[in-house]
Each structure stands twice: as C-alpha cells, then as structure tokens.
C-alpha cells in the first residue's frame, strides 16, 4: 500500500544530547548539514518551518509545521518539497521525527521520515538522511 514506508537513519554521536540538540535546531548548523539550506523557524509548536535554497540549479522553498518540540529528546515536524513534483496536498507531506537518546555519554540520533510511497522511495530517502545525520555527527563532535 502506498505511503506506508518509513525511511529510518540512525547514528551514534560522541557528544551529549544537549550538544546534538543544539546542532539539529540551529539554523546556522542546518546550513551545513542540510545541503546549504536556509532554515527559518522559531520552533514553536504549530508554527511554520521553511527551508530555502537552490538544489541542482533550481531554487526551492520547502515547508512544514512544528508538531512537537521537546528538548533535548524529540523534534517532530512535517515536510513538503515542491521539488518532489507532487501536488502540495497532505497525502504528499512527510513527518520527520528526530529522536535523541542518551547512550552512556554519547547520543543515539534516529531520524525517521514517514509516508514514502514505495520501499524504493524510502530507501532513497534513507540514503539522503544517512548523509545528513553523518554531518550532524561531525558538527556535534567538534568542540
């Protein structure tokens, strides 16, 4: 059934959750780990999230809504990208869940994207998120 495939990317980061949380939610850091995007939000629940930039020569403005903001453990927001080629309709939006778990002085970061239409689409998204969480790890482990 379409839309029921999750993309899950997980990584262990040698930094406390508070440090990882600071990286994940900081617009300046997001520019580094989100492929140059400009992140615009105040992280208020119910408030907007915007990602702006240029991807493969095409300007974009993705958007979403903050659903949950629970420092330093959990961030949940929706996401839609016009670059997907899909109509901007709820059935084409994803929910991204950033979960941070203490792992004995380190942090386990798990990023889950729901509502992928096929297993192949979920795998494609996972590959992109794997690159992104690896960059979050790199930034979080810098002193």
Largest CA distance in the chain: 45
β-partners of residue 55 are 58
pLDDT band at residue 56 using 50, 70 and 90 as cut-offs? confident
Give per-residue pLDDT as tens, 58-116: 899 999 999 999 999 999 999 998 888 889 999 899 999 999 999 999 999 999 999 99
93: its two tokens: 């939006």
pTM equals 0.92
Is 60 exceeded by the pLDDT of residue 1?
no
Domains of the chain (ranges, CATH numbers)? 5-141 (3.30.530.20)
């Amino acid at each position: 059934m379409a839309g029921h495939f999750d993309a899950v990317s997980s990584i262990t980061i040698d930094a406390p959750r508070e440090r990882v949380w600071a990286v994940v939610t900081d617009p300046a850091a997001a520019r580094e780990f989100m492929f140059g995007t400009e992140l615009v939000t105040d992280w208020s629940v119910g408030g907007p999230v915007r990602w702006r930039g240029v991807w493969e020569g095409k300007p974009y403005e993705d958007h979403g809504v903050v659903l949950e903001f629970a420092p330093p453990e959990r961030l949940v927001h929706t996401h839609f990208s016009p670059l997907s080629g899909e109509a901007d309709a709820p059935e084409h939006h994803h929910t991204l869940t950033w979960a941070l778990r203490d792992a004995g002085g380190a942090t386990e970061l798990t990023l889950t994207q729901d509502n992928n239409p096929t297993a192949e689409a979920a795998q494609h998204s996972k590959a992109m998120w794997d690159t992104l969480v690896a960059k979050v790890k790199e930034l979080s482990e810098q002193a």
